[in-house]
Amino acid sequence: MAAEIHSRGGGAYPYEVDVTDPGAVEKLVEFVVQTCGGLHLAVNNAGVDGVRKATADYPLDIWRKLIDVNLNGVFYCMKYEIAAIAEQGGGAIVNMSSVLGSVGLPTASAYTAAKHGVVGLTKAATIEYARKGIRINVVGPGWIETPLLSEHQEITNTRRMEALQPMGRRGKPEEVAALVCFLLSEKAGFISGSYHLVDGAYTAH
């Protein structure tokens, strides 16, 4: 992907990082600053799913993994991104939550808890840094055609799930990306601390 972007005249620098490791995240931000001359915009999009178990039966190790990646990982990224963005006089961050940041799903307590946590973290941080010119928003995709969704075909392909899609289809990654790009742009200059769903009216039920 980086090579394709370069071929089109853009710039991209692949960098592998474990978002559950604060030290590794700090080094990533340092790499961006050194390579690009500063950090202005960030999207925190790392996420994993777990098993389908009722809350009392949920495995502790998988609970910890989901919270560590999906919630703690966002916090670690923001911790170092905010400092770097502040040095540039401001910028914007978009955190990726989920439609499950506003509603629940049986047998997905860890994922739901983490995604609710991302929404709360975003709201708290945006108040703290609004006057420093840093806007922080959160996006909640619904059922989007992604590899993560495909891993759980037994859940997402049931007639019940299809019936809960008022638009009669799943979303496309490009439809989520379009909103993220808008929130990062100056056109969204007065939007901060907001939770934006891209769910095809799923939560309108």
Catalytic center residues:
111
Tokens standing for residue 13: 């620098």
- The phi, psi pair for 177, rounded to 5°, reads -60, -35
* Calpha distance 43→136 (Å, rounded): 10
Residues 31 and 80 sit within 8 Å (Cβ to Cβ): no
* Calpha distance 116→189 (Å, rounded): 25
Collect all residues with Cβ–Cβ distance below 8 Å to 134 and sequence separation of at least 6. 82, 85, 86, 90, 91, 92, 93, 126
User: Strand ranges (DSSP E) for 62-171?
Assistant: 91-96, 134-141
